[in-house]
Structure 1
Amino acid sequence: MSSSPPDVVNAVLARGKLGTFTLVFFVMAAAAPLTVVAGGATTGFAVTGVTGIPVAYLAVAAVLGLFSVGFVAMSRRIVNAGAFYTYVAHGLGKPLGVAIAFLALAAYNAMQVGLYGGFGPILESDLAARTGINVPWWLCAYAALAVIAVLGVLRIDLNGKILAAMLVGEIAIALVYDAVMVTHPAGNTVSFDTLAPDHLLAAGIGAALVTAITGFVGFEATTVLAEEVKDPRRTVARATYIAVTVTGVLYGLSAWAMSVATGPDRIVNAAGEQGTDLMFNLVSPYVASEIVSIGRILFITSLFAALLSFHHTVARYLFALGRERVLPSALARTGRRTLAPVVGSLTQTAIAAVVLAGYVWSGADPIVNLFFWITVTGGLGVLVLMTITSVAVVAFFARRRHDENVWRAAIAPAMAALVLGAILFVTVQQFDTLLGVAPTSPLRWLFPAGYAAVAVLGLAWALYLRRSRPDVYDAIGLGVEAESLQHRHAAPARLPA
């Protein structure tokens, strides 16, 4: 790894390009509302067998709102595209920070690459139905990858406009479908059974909760994009709370509406039989065929929007680690005009291309083995990140003078750490239910163990840097200030006159 400083254009990303609502569009596009409603919720019902998916979404929204209190407080003091990595490095120490950085890269790449397993087959099916042309799912996935590779190196505000247009359409059609389903209930009775709080104590709730958390993954990217917003202290906080609130209400409402239309006692079987077609099949008898067609098209664009948004998140994590020389410094290179993290973006594209090739070669089921398994594993990783970050927030403010009140600096993040930790424990314990495999299957431990291995690798790398590259180690978590510190390390000592 080169220790020479980058040229000026590498030090920062594009400043002042994103306002509050553009940032909201970015992070909600990652959450992919229509994908979660039509794909995530139905798959969650089918795989876990839990009818309390709607209340799980609302419960997770409340927990993430609590988590956001301390998270946003940290964002007002540390503006860095490394987000989780940077906060943990400042709160719990640099070795654990690097371990979290490696885990974050694994989790967000899992989310991004896993989504290709949904996008490819769904576009394949749609093209066959509309045109009669049969295109293999992997060709559809690689076509999306090629477009994202181009958009990833363009200006961030241009990407924001594209995502905004897609997101508005998604939310609008989801609300229309919800209204149709609730006004045409099974047995002419609107049931609120799937919203009952006692579902949160039912068997398999851990699987339901991590399914719900996976649907929210991406909202925390408000801090990843903080270097590119107009007013980091205010914009990040507003966008984070708006994103959590809107997505939580939409997910809970839509999952409940589906259970109303099928009947609470039929939702699990209906989801298992019809899969991602369930929502469209429920509304098709009552709306024009064009409305159903628009919904199916927006379902596909929702997946694409999520792919694009997670691509940007991974690229910026790579940029942050490259800027601080924790990973090769080439990753910090940005376009001279766009100031987009070009090398980080292309690296993420290459990772996705290789993983997709492996799945195509293996002949694995893209929907189950790539889309569902890998994205929920990504959700598990982000759950780990949020739990540890909550602890880091408490530690950060406990050691420093600050003007935050005790609620934001200690109580809220401590409560969030406890609740998220409990959800994490139950999730790992019930991971076989989430994957839909036998309790004796080694797969139930393979995915969580993979994260442990990645974190240990990151920890070992940090200890190596501390011993062999102290200039790099000292700059961990400093962001744009890392370059000046490394310059001071590298400066030759002057001889006395």
Structure 2
Amino acid sequence: MGLEQRTLTVPALVVMIIAASAPLTAVAGGVTTNYAVTGMASVPLSFLIIGAILLIFSIGYTAMSRYIPNAGAFYAYVAQGLGRALGVGAAMIALVSYNLMQIGIYGLFGFAASSFANASFGTAISWWVMALAAWAVVGFLGMNRVDFSVKVLGIVVAAEFLIVIIYNIMAFAVAPEAPEPATSFNLADAVAPGMGAVMAFTIAAFMGFESGTIYNEEVKDPKRTARRATMIAVVIIACFYAFSAFAVAVGEGASNVIGASVELGPDLIFAFFGAHAPLWFVDLANILFITSLFAALLAFHNVIARYFYAMGRGGALPKLLSTTSRTTHAPVAGSLAQSTLGLLVILIFAVISHGKDPMYVVFTMFTWMTNSAAYGLVLLMSLTSFAVIGYFKRNRTSDSVITRVIAPLIAGIALAYVFMQIIINFEILLGMEEPGMLGYVLQGIVILPGLIAWVLALVIGSSARKAPKANKLPVG
């Protein structure tokens, strides 16, 4: 039995995509960390630059979804555009990267939820207790109809946007200095030293935007829904985050925003609320920060479950993983597989972090895993851009030369540049002062499974050509 058919609309898919980017988390955590670590005032500009790159990327990427409506997305597109073996390798990198992103967020969720509960009720709940509670709910929702998840995410995302909008209004209302848009959006900074590091941080806030095509087997209009939803989501994310990053500079003052970000980090926005809003609103903002993380957990869980499903159906992983529910049509085997991996990692870090500072799990589980995930996903996006060119070269369609060649070529080169910046600044992203073995290990965890899968697929493919009756690795 296949996935549930034709229930997702454009608005529903936009919600799923934006939920993965976690708006409140991106602004409270990502923007302030970007200011603090890079020391650059042009963080707002970086959102517009990355947004433009991803919008160009989406032109060719979403065009592929009209011809290859596969829940494996990167996997299927690279296989069709650059060859089956490379597609299998890309699939493993995608699977590892998405799992790292989703499971890493459990660390920050557990810390944030336990800290809030302990401060509010005088308890002493460990981070992993809260992480396991979220894990159970995410697993339950992942086994149900995807439109049920959309309803949950829709409420959370709407509340997140409202909180950030209120913050933006308050920031302009109490601005200690005159706003300086010329500083925050200085086009000369686009090629300034240090902008590469800024973009390496910024693109992490967009991760999940590409997930729209993964639901193409479940949307009402497979030829238009994913394309429109992805374009809309990228524009919303880029513009909203750019303006919000500017609001952070306005609220703290252009001359003080970097220093305040270094001092307070992700607490900057909540400290601002504490100084200018009633206590109940501060508590509400903290609760919505936690639910923002939950929304990202659920969104990425649904993506990973469908990747397992697509790879099981295509033969790259055991066929058992392609099992779907008879009642909800959800990819139950993929959902269970992802939940199992999440449980194992949570338990491992629960043991490792015992007796350590509560922030330990944020600096390790969350920071290491999510930045490694961004490393892998940006590599895949660059690879997919060139796969788009390869696919349309071999398959004649009515698409324009912009869709078939120009847009994917520009996106591929731009994303390769961002990927190189992530490599160059990887230690900074991990919070390390100098290069060390940890950075190489984490990059290896992402890349090696893909390389091994690619080599194995080449060997199996070669054997299949010699013996036509042997099993192959279809795309599905």
- TM-score above 0.5: yes
Instruction: Please list, as runs of the form range in 1=range in 2, the aligned pairs for 1:253-264 lying within 5 A after superposition.
Output: 253-264=243-254
Contact 2:88 2:457 in 1 (8 A): yes
Instruction: Please list, as runs of the form range in 1=range in 2, the aligned pairs for 1:170-189 lying within 5 A after superposition.
Output: 170-187=160-177, 189=178
Q: 1:265 and 1:137 mapped to 2: Cα distance?
A: 36
Q: 2:469 and 2:199 mapped to 1: Cα distance?
A: 42
Give how far 1:263 is off.
2.1
Contact 1:208 1:434 in 2 (8 A): no
Contact 1:48 1:436 in 2 (8 A): no
The more displaced of 280-289 and 114-123 is 280-289
Instruction: Please list, as runs of the form range in 1=range in 2, the aligned pairs for 1:224-239 lying within 5 A after superposition.
Output: 224-239=214-229
Q: 2:107 and 2:193 mapped to 1: Cα distance?
A: 29
1:87 counterpart SS class? helix
Give how far 1:459 is off.
0.5
Q: 1:207 and 1:197 mapped to 2: Cα distance?
A: 16
In the alignment, structure 1 segments of 5+ residues that lack a partner are: 1-8, 480-497
Instruction: Please list, as runs of the form range in 1=range in 2, the aligned pairs for 1:7-406 lying within 5 A after superposition.
Output: 9=1, 12-187=2-177, 189-192=178-181, 193-363=183-353, 365-406=360-401
1:332-388 CA deviation, whole Å, 9 max, x = no partner? 111100011111101101111111222222227111112223212211111001000
Q: 1:301 and 1:219 mapped to 2: Cα distance?
A: 19
What's the TM-score once normalised by structure 2's chain length? 0.94
C-alpha change, 1:447 and 1:473, in structure 2 (3 Å) is: farther
Letter in 2 for 1:380: Y
Is 1:425 the counterpart of 2:420? The answer is yes
What's the TM-score once normalised by structure 1's chain length? 0.90
Q: 2:144 and 2:153 mapped to 1: Cα distance?
A: 14
1:227 counterpart SS class? coil
The more displaced of 439-448 and 131-140 is 439-448
In the alignment, structure 2 segments of 5+ residues that lack a partner are: none
1:281-322 CA deviation, whole Å, 9 max, x = no partner? 223333333332222111110100000000011110000010
Q: 1:369 and 1:201 mapped to 2: Cα distance?
A: 32
1:68-126 CA deviation, whole Å, 9 max, x = no partner? 00011111111000001100000000010000000001110111011111101111111
1:142 counterpart SS class? helix
Give how far 1:427 is off.
1.9
C-alpha change, 1:114 and 1:449, in structure 2 (3 Å) is: same
Contact 2:46 2:198 in 1 (8 A): yes
Q: 2:469 and 2:26 mapped to 1: Cα distance?
A: 44
Q: 2:36 and 2:440 mapped to 1: Cα distance?
A: 21
The more displaced of 339-348 and 265-274 is 265-274
Identity of aligned residues (%): 38
C-alpha change, 1:131 and 1:339, in structure 2 (3 Å) is: same
Structure 2 partner of 1:486: none
Q: 1:250 and 1:372 mapped to 2: Cα distance?
A: 24
1:226-283 CA deviation, whole Å, 9 max, x = no partner? 1111111111111001110111111111111111111233223322322222112223
Give how far 1:425 is off.
1.4
1:285 counterpart SS class? helix
Instruction: Please list, as runs of the form range in 1=range in 2, the aligned pairs for 1:454-465 lying within 5 A after superposition.
Output: 454-465=449-460
C-alpha change, 1:111 and 1:440, in structure 2 (3 Å) is: closer
Letter in 2 for 1:382: L
CA RMSD between the two structures: 1.7
Contact 2:24 2:161 in 1 (8 A): yes
Contact 1:204 1:430 in 2 (8 A): no
Letter in 1 for 2:101: M
